[in-house]
Amino acid sequence: MPNTVVELLEDKAKLYPNNTIEIYKVESMTFSEWSKKSSQLSHLLIKKGVRKGDRVAIMFSNKDGIFYKISYFAVSKAGALPVPINVRLPKEGVEYILKNSEAKGIIYGEEFRDLLKNFELSFMMSRTECEEQMKSMPHELPQVDIRSDDYLDIIYTSGTTGFPKGVLSVHSSLFVRDDSLYENLYAGKTFMHSVPLFTFAGSHAMMLIPLRYALNAVILPAFNTQDFLQLMKRKDLVMLYAVPFHLISVMKIEDFWKENYDHIKLIMFGTAPMPSWAIKKLADKLKQTWIMNLYGATEAGMAGCFLPPGMASLKPDSVGIPLPPTEVKICDDEGNELPRGQIGEIWMRIPSSKPRRYFKDDESTQKVWTQDGWTKTGDLGYMDEEGYIYIVDRKKDIIIRGGFNISSAKVEGAIMSHPDVIEAAVVSVPHHMLGEDLFAFVVAKSELSKNDIMNFLKDKLADNEIPRYYTFIDALPRNATGKVLKYELKEKAKVIYQELRKKEGKEV
């Protein structure tokens, strides 16, 4: 079994040279080309002065996903650390990551030339410039000593609550499981996703799954409901990954229910809560498909939980059991493990030769990782008697209304079960007596009113869980991984809420 991502690519390129990576309707490359071109670019980077341990930023949208993959492995082959940059960041956000990571240089897509033009780094190369200069470089793997306990990359968190933090990963942490079963079953078949490659899920999971399982891959440049559905119909497709929003969007299309998808053996979803009603409907439709909820965090790395085959319909509210060799425990605020059924913070751990940490942030590192390797996820949940884990909410998303803890995720799921609701987000607003009140943002596909929603929720939620304030909008603000930017919604909700209370003649 390989011990580094470089070994993984080189091994699979020799065994499956003609497997392809396709950016849907844009371009494609084979595993063999992936190996050779990343080596050429790596030699070019070394010529530019890149040495082991340096950081090199890479900035490409999924449209340039082919060259993102080439660049990521080129930097790795030089022994340096790729630093993927969120393509949605404003100039100030890009500048922060370049400075924080101490990037020596950057490789980027042509679309970001103007945004990057005033930065000063040792080198800055667009895709076009790289491709031209690579032509004279050798195809062979550079002779750089890369070990399993070397740091692999720096993936910056989504920054939904402030400045993003750079998480240092180790090569060995990505090789804690045996992939031979999937390889034996599905080699040469196809895997599909539309996750941005610069994210943790995009780089560590979506980019490596085709290599691990010897799959072809097709990647959407951007999520499009019709394209996603069209790709689901491909008979060579055996595996796909989606954020819940993608699956719910597809399920809202009538054409989805007319097709047979028995060829799809595994559907994975994660990064955000999936309402239990949607999981049940999906499991009922796709009876031959393993519906797997993957739960984890950038800070936890390959540690995570999954729903075993057949459990999606039996335990739709659960994120599953620990995915071996992951360990999970539920802890109180002092770090004491709680009994089954009690709600606390979810802690996760996986074997690693070197602990993860935040780059240049020892204070935050000590708050998230314990000395014996546990990651504090920031999620509240509990474990049932059978060992299945249930997420109640993010710690910061629990709303305390009149002394009662209310899960925003539970309320959102209930609202989204309305047939005319596409998505919803519930946030807190300050209340002069209750402490906090509930405010719902709703995206609907037909005209709905506040009373329509409230009446619908009467037999689904306790009366104190039903929001009294609503705004209907065209779309929820999301980050690149599909997570709703609740801090943006909270600021909007405060302003709207204050105006509504004043109109009602009530104290704010």
**Distance between CA atoms of residues 356 and 377, nearest Å:** 13
Name which of 441, 428, 378 is nearest 400 in CA terms: 428
Whether 498 has a pLDDT exceeding 80, the answer reads yes
In total, the chain counts a number of residues equal to: 508
Q: Do residues 223 and 248 lie in contact, with contact meaning Cβ atoms separated by under 8 Å? A: no
pLDDT of residue 378: 86
507: confidence class by pLDDT, cuts 50, 70, 90: low
Specify whether the CB–CB gap between 232 and 250 falls below 8 A: yes
Please report the domains of the chain, with CATH numbers, ordered by start residue.
Answer: 5-170 (3.40.50.12780), 321-395 (2.30.38.10), 402-503 (3.30.300.30)
At residue 463, does pLDDT exceed 90? no
CA distance 204 to 65: 14
pLDDT at 327 (0 to 100): 94
Give this prediction's pTM. Answer: 0.82
Q: What is the pLDDT of residue 386?
A: 96
- Region 455-479 average pLDDT: 90
Q: For residue range 3-61, list pLDDT tens digits in order.
A: 999 999 999 999 999 999 999 999 999 999 999 999 999 999 999 999 999 999 999 99
Share of the chain above pLDDT 70, in %: 97
Bridge partners (DSSP) of residue 424 are 442
What is the token pair recorded at 287? 């009876």
Share of the chain above pLDDT 90, in %: 65
Question: Does residue 160 carry a pLDDT above 50?
Answer: no
- Evaluate if residue 485 carries a pLDDT over 70: yes
**Residue that wins the pLDDT comparison between 434 and 213:** 213
DSSP assignment letter at 208: T
The confidence score (pLDDT) of residue 353 equals: 63
The CA-based angle 153-155-161, given to 5 degrees, is 160
Per-residue pLDDT reduced to its tens digit, 239-293: 999 988 889 889 989 999 999 999 999 999 887 778 888 899 999 999 999 998 8
Residue of higher predicted confidence among 382 and 177: 382
Instruction: Assess whether pLDDT exceeds 60 at residue 401.
Output: yes
185-223: pLDDT as tens digits: 999 999 999 988 998 889 998 999 999 999 999 999 999
pLDDT band of 479, cuts 50, 70, 90: confident
Quick check: 370 pLDDT over 50? yes
Encode pLDDT of 324-348 as tens digits.
Answer: 889 999 999 899 999 999 999 999 9
Phi, psi of 441 (to 5 degrees): -105, 130
The predicted pLDDT at position 91 comes to: 87
User: pLDDT at position 402, please?
Assistant: 72
Residue with tokens 């895997």: 191
Residue 403 has a pLDDT of: 66
The pLDDT of residue 162: 54
Q: Identify whether the C-beta of residue 305 lies closer than 8 Å to the C-beta of residue 292.
A: no
The per-residue pLDDT for range 93-103, each reduced to its tens digit, is 899 999 999 99
**What pLDDT is attached to residue 111?**
96
pLDDT band at 173 (very low <50, low <70, confident <90, very high): confident
Both structure tokens of 199: 């994210």
Q: What is the mean pLDDT of residues 176-185?
A: 88
Distance in angstroms (rounded) separating the CA atoms of residues 303 and 334? 22
pLDDT of residue 296: 82
**Res 88: pLDDT:** 81
User: What's the confidence (pLDDT) of residue 11?
Assistant: 97
Amino acid 176: pLDDT: 84
